Chain A
């Protein structure tokens, strides 16, 4: 970019701004902007940074509760978990980079979300992820899984934050557009939380961390457009991560945060130095002067435009108390990280960027924020799915069960988990697969956090509103099934091109469903991220959209970590089914895997029943009656039973359903608001459930080494496990 480019509407369009948006830029500036200024406007007004298509609708989500300390608007959400501690958490997508360069895309996704959390003063204690890949038959899928899993592990393992949970789905709709959503949870004292609003005219603006290079320039803009066949030529816009530097940055920032030096702090994420400086000054209502000559640089000859737009990783921007800069400098020198005063706060209300003695940008901050476009894009409401015609089982119950537990969406994820360090930190109470949510103790307390990620995209595709509600309800249920009290969620809304009315309609409906569920379940949204344009243009001009995927990251708390329970079957117990079963097979895994069909409506989400059943189950766990519990989701009762059997290495004998429902619908239907619970005295639990208005019945008696069906057919644990554990190694390690 050393040769001067002509700044005009054509260049603006190349930068992702519409002609109308460029008109606004001209009106704000009162002149033709410089190249650097155009770059600043284009990234700040990109979909990724401005939420211009989604903001109107995000306002409909509930964001408050007595335990919410900071909701959306900060770098991450903050909730009170008791004993003077707060959990700070957020989920964020790195979808586009992960398709282009899976390893670095996923790795830097982890790095970015870690920074969003520790920038607020929290020590990161758990990472999770939500991954969607294309069809396993697609040869590209294998390469993407390999890179994404190595990238998540490579980064998380090195920084020493345990990766404790996550979810994976496969669907051809993700062939050209995999989703990599990374979540970090951190812990801070409630009185030591750091915010991003700059304050104090004259205070120094300090840059710490890695040097700035030319990587990731315009990454935010790339994430705001659909893919075409040239996508892979965009590799230079993918950033490269260095988890070692991130680890040093975490330790140095936390050490500095123990002093009183920091006025405000923000990581340099998407749109790097531009968004961090603009947002910090904008939130604080002050101006900011930056001298780019002082910015630590990886290579000579970088222009102002390149430095302002670079997305080099592992960098933070801070406003410090002027009398504490030496304290801060010493800490960063100890950790051998760059530390540079690159500017100061002003009372001008402008961002002024100087480089080589020249003013390269001078933009009023208020209109840059206030006049950012917000679109009320046209939408068409989703068409309700037709009812499912009666269907019949083509195979025996045991054959169908084996096929289901071996299927890509239900099979064991241990091949993946076993590449993520899940125990570093020494606080992991329940590792991946041991409980419905991962359990991590808070150091020096008895408190534990329960964390999970959930979404069922095929439900969202069929009925976005129900799907949005179901994603929230399932996260709430997974936390409940460990005994924890659900507190709040972070969301990662992955959708296709919002300029298409049917996609906008999906988005609006999903938010409506989420909002209803969050309200009824007292489970507010405290942080989140929107990823749009997840759509691929095919060579023939058609486009492939992803399934609407509003991934939910849920967080709950247990006052006493020792009360957390797992999902493994325990010997000699009654197994009780809690919740009503109607046999909902529409959009079920059974329908897709056994009959090869994806149709019908998703199961209904009755939020009052969710609340009632879940509150009952949690009470019974905390009283010690329920000693193992598993929420029912994909695959229904029989898959849930099989999962408990495999996790606990204990068999069980099932009762005849005797329900008036066809067997395949009873055993594989995906009705919501249900749990399987191990108890000593099933009859007593059922009596207490009846008193609470909660449907419950004994469904099995545990023991032995086999799963025994009502017909008397037995399936050994070894046979189940063999089927369950084959898919990933066969797909990934085949030579």
Chain B
């Protein structure tokens, strides 16, 4: 799998993501500066976490108009695989590559804690290592992760199995109005969504920060292992 990480000014989780990708591919991913537009030869493009351009406008809004995102749209149109985590998810929604939007956390405070995710669709390149209903732990760290979408979009997402992950309790219970299991208040406890072709996934939590027993576990590793299997040509 030839993977690359897009780096915007203000991106700050590119190192974490590089560690995770190197763990499963054995090689350091390519780093793509926001002015670059050549994505040829890549199997996976990752938009990592951070505060692109400072995120002083809506999170991800500036990045969505950067030169590299034109190339990312073209990459998506050709069926390329794209993972957006945290700020990367926000950029994907601002770019129109994924539906919905991320609002301020319901409690109006930045949240940095572990959460549990329930796998809702295991038939995707991002989730194939799990079974539907599996629950795994992952850190989250964001101020704007409260997923929302209009009723028609939500109905479509749910109907087409395009909710990849939901926030849940450790036992796998999903309850949208429970702050313990749905910490940022996301609609339908949605933590990650998929594109129509299942090749673009955006999620708020950070599976890349839990891929090493030394850092507390490998709960996030299946996502990356699955991608390697799925995109091998």
Contact = CB atoms under 8 A, between A and B. Distances in A.
Given A160-B50, A419-B111, A420-B112, A425 B141 contact: no
B141 A421 contact: yes
A160 B9 contact: no
A649 to B, nearest CB: 12
Contact of A429 (B12, B16, B143, B214): B214
A423 B139 contact: yes
Contacts of A425: 15-16
B113 interface: yes
A418 B111 CA distance: 6
A582 B219 CA distance: 46
Interface residues of B, number: 31
A667 B215 CA distance: 34
A335 B34 CA distance: 11
A441 interface: yes
B208 A426 contact: yes
B16 A426 contact: yes
B15 A419 contact: no
Interface in B155-207: 206
B215 A428 contact: yes
Contacts of A420: 110, 112
B113 A418 contact: yes
A159 B214 contact: no
Main secondary structure of the interface of B (DSSP, over half): mixed
B215 A247 contact: no
B209 interface: yes
A159 B12 contact: yes
Nearest to A245: B54
A160 B12 contact: yes
Interface in A410-432: 414, 417-429, 431
A418 B142 CA distance: 10
Interface string A436-472: 0000010100000000000000000000000000000
B139 to A, nearest CB: 5
B81 interface: no
A244 B141 contact: no
A157 B110 contact: yes
Contacts of A650: none
Contacts of A426: 13, 15-16, 19-20, 208-209, 212, 215
B184 to A, nearest CB: 12
B70 interface: no
B30 interface: no
Contacts of B110: 150, 153-154, 157, 419-421
A398 interface: no
B112 A417 contact: yes
Nearest to B7: A251
B54 A244 contact: yes
B51 interface: yes
Interface string A155-185: 0011110000000000000000000000000
A561 interface: yes
Given A158-B10, A244-B9, A419-B109, A424 B54 contact: no
Contacts of A733: 107
A429 B141 contact: no
A247 B112 contact: no
From A245, A247, A441, residue with most partner B Cβ within 10 Å: A247
Contacts of B206: 423
B146 to A, nearest CB: 16
Contact of B141 (A242, A247, A423): A423
B213 to A, nearest CB: 9
A247 B12 contact: yes
A19 to B, nearest CB: 47
A248 B10 contact: yes
Nearest to A422: B112
B51 A244 contact: yes
Interface in A524-551: none
A584 to B, nearest CB: 36
Contacts of A153: 110
Contacts of A655: none
B166 to A, nearest CB: 21
A352 B98 CA distance: 58
Contacts of B216: 429, 431
A244 B56 contact: yes
B164 to A, nearest CB: 21
From B13, B19, B112, residue with most partner A Cβ within 10 Å: B112
B125 interface: no
A399 interface: no
Given A158-B54, A561-B214, A562-B214, A424 B109 contact: no
A417 B109 CA distance: 12
B49 interface: yes
B83 to A, nearest CB: 16
Contact of A157 (B141, B208, B212, B215): B141
A221 to B, nearest CB: 31
A376 interface: no
B143 to A, nearest CB: 8
A336 interface: yes
6 closest A-B pairs by CB: A160-B12, A244-B54, A426-B16, A421-B141, A158-B51, A423-B209
Given A423-B206, A429-B214, 6 more contacts: A242-B54, A244-B51, A424-B13, A426-B209, A426-B212, A443-B15
17 contacts: A157-B51, A157-B112, A157-B143, A158-B51, A160-B12, A244-B56, A248-B9, A421-B110, A423-B206, A423-B209, A425-B16, A426-B20, A427-B215, A429-B215, A429-B216, A443-B15, A561-B214
Interface of B: 9-10, 12-13, 15-16, 19-20, 49-51, 53-56, 107, 109-113, 139, 141, 143, 206, 208-209, 212, 214-216
